[in-house]
């Protein structure tokens, strides 16, 4: 039987590139999925432009993000790994899909609402049509499954709606994808405001653990994590801070909530926070070390970036060509 196909993307922007939330909710699973699925992963640099970026920083972080994905176990010889803006088909299909997206549905996207509130001085059209570009990313590769954190579910539903709408108008063109949301850790919360998701754009540096943070920095961030005024390490509604720490610890150690509760029975929050910090620092150690090795080997990175772009172009063009025909765009005579 043919393997199912998976596609996912991640933005290279934001302080320190990737967070522990990105890792637990997304990237950590990407490497594992290579065993079972045909995978395609990319750096969503075009999506990053929806928020103002410093050009030099964006460029540098895109290369770092590529190296970091390799360091997290994505094997470029097994999976398709590329930078979105190197593959022109994405922007082109996004334009076509924009013309099949309705203002009403785009206005309902919570990410658009959140980001417009965060960047009130720059509510640009790209931020609004972001989901159409994301739909293009996915539909170009005829992906079966799209692994994302819970915050992206709405964009996935939008992608499905657009695909179905297009197929109904013109006949089968796009595969209608399913979201693939991890059971545990789909939403890692801020260490400072545990009712908010951990985000790379958080102004409070202590709220977010970065993949390349040094162990001492990680320990310190967990030490300062906001919890509650009780003493017991138990997973219970209302204990957002502790629940979040238990989720992180559970995902990384494979322990259940009951096991964690038993392990820390009679111990205080201080001991628990130190244990979580240590476990995160240890889990990220190999990633940090492999990243340091890769980022020093620019020639290797450039070769893999070029190969990825060429393969992605070839795969995605097949779908774009079909979509262009369907809507009546004249083919370029050979």
Site residues (vs ligand LTN, CB under 6 A): 7-11, 44, 47, 134, 137-138, 146, 148, 152, 155
Is 325 a known active-site residue?
no
Which of residues 127, 134, 198, 245 is near ligand ATP by CB under 6 A?
198
Grouping H, G, I as helix, E, B as strand and the rest as coil, residue 325 is helix
Strand partners, 8: 41
Taking each helix axis as running N to C, give the angle between helix 110-118 and helix 125-140, from 0 to 180 degrees, rounded to the nearest 10: 140
Stretch that binds ligand ATP, among 8-16, 67-75, 263-271, 304-312 (CB under 6 A): 8-16
Q: Which residue is at the shortest CB distance from ligand ATP?
A: 25
* CA nearest to 172, candidates 162, 163, 181, 185: 163
Which of residues 7, 17, 25, 69 is near ligand ATP by CB under 6 A?
25
Stretch that binds ligand ATP, among 17-25, 57-65, 89-97, 131-139 (CB under 6 A): 17-25
Measured from the CB atom, is 147 or 241 closer to ligand LTN?
147
Distance CA 330, CA 206 (A): 54
Which of residues 11, 159, 244, 247 is near ligand ATP by CB under 6 A?
11
Stretch that binds ligand ATP, among 148-156, 226-234, 287-295, 326-334 (CB under 6 A): 148-156
Q: Does 89 bind ligand ATP (CB under 6 A)?
A: no
- Joined together, the tokens standing for residue 97 give 């899909």
Beta-sheet strand order (sheet of 5-10): 80-83, 38-43, 5-10, 145-147, 178-180
Measured in degrees and rounded to the nearest 5, phi and psi for residue 173 equal -125, -45
Is 196 a known active-site residue?
no
Distance CA 178, CA 147 (A): 9
Task: Decide which of ligand LTN, ligand ATP, none touches 198; Cβ closer than 5 to 8 Å per partner kind.
Answer: ligand ATP
Q: Which residue is at the shortest CB distance from ligand LTN?
A: 9
Say which DSSP state 72 is in. Answer: T
Task: Decide which of ligand LTN, ligand ATP, none touches 21; Cβ closer than 5 to 8 Å per partner kind.
Answer: ligand ATP
Task: Decide which of ligand LTN, ligand ATP, none touches 201; Cβ closer than 5 to 8 Å per partner kind.
Answer: ligand ATP
Stretch that binds ligand ATP, among 16-24, 257-265, 271-279, 310-318 (CB under 6 A): 16-24
Distance CA 304, CA 298 (A): 10
- 43 Rama class: left (phi>0) / alpha (psi -120 to 50) / beta: beta
Task: Decide which of ligand ATP, ligand LTN, none touches 14; Cβ closer than 5 to 8 Å per partner kind.
Answer: ligand ATP
Ordered DSSP codes for 152-216: GHHHHHHHHHHHHHHHHHHSS-S---EEE--SSSSSPBPSSSTTSB--TT-S-GGG--BTT--HH
Q: Does 57 bind ligand ATP (CB under 6 A)?
A: no
Strand partners, 40: 7, 80
Q: Does 187 bind ligand ATP (CB under 6 A)?
A: yes
Least gap, CB of 272 to ligand LTN (angstroms): 30
Of the listed 115, 221, 239, 273, which one is catalytic?
115
Is 197 a known active-site residue?
yes
Question: Which whole-number Å values give the CA distances from 44 to 39, 57, 82, in the listed order?
Answer: 16, 15, 9
Interface with ligand ATP (CB under 6 A): 10-11, 14, 19, 21-22, 24-26, 148-149, 151-152, 186-188, 197-201
């Amino acid at each position: 039987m043919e393997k199912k196909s998976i596609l996912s993307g991640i933005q290279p922007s934001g302080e320190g590139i990737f967070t522990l939330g990105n890792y637990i909710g997304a990237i950590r699973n990407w490497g594992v999925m290579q065993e079972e699925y045909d995978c395609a992963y990319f750096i969503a640099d075009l999506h990053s432009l929806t928020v103002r970026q410093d050009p030099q920083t964006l460029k540098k972080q895109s290369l770092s993000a590529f190296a970091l994905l390799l360091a997290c176990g994505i094997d470029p010889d097994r999976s398709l790994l590329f930078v979105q803006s190197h593959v022109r088909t994405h922007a082109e299909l996004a334009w076509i899909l924009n013309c099949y997206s309705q203002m009403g549905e785009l206005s309902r996207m919570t990410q658009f609402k959140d980001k417009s509130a965060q960047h009130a001085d720059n509510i640009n059209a790209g931020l609004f049509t972001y989901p159409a570009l994301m739909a293009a990313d996915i539909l170009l590769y005829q992906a079966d499954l799209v692994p994302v954190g819970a915050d992206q579910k709405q964009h996935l539903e939008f992608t499905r709606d657009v695909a179905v709408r297009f197929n109904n108008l013109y006949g089968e063109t796009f595969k209608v994808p399913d979201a693939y949301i991890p059971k545990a850790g789909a939403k890692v919360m801020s260490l400072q405001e545990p009712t908010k998701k951990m985000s790379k754009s958080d102004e409070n540096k202590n709220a977010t653990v970065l993949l390349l943070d040094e162990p001492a920095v990680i320990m310190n961030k967990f030490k300062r994590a906001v919890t509650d005024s009780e003493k017991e390490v138990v997973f219970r509604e209302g204990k957002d801070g502790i629940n979040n720490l238990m989720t992180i610890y559970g995902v990384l150690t494979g322990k259940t909530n009951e096991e964690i509760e038993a392990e820390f029975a009679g111990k205080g929050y201080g001991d628990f926070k130190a244990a979580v910090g240590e476990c995160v620092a240890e889990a990220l150690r190999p990633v940090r070390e492999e990243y340091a090795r890769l980022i020093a080997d620019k020639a290797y990175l450039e070769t893999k970036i070029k190969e990825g772009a060429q393969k992605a172009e070839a795969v995605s063009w097949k779908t774009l060509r079909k979509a262009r025909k369907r809507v009546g765009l004249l083919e370029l005579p050979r």
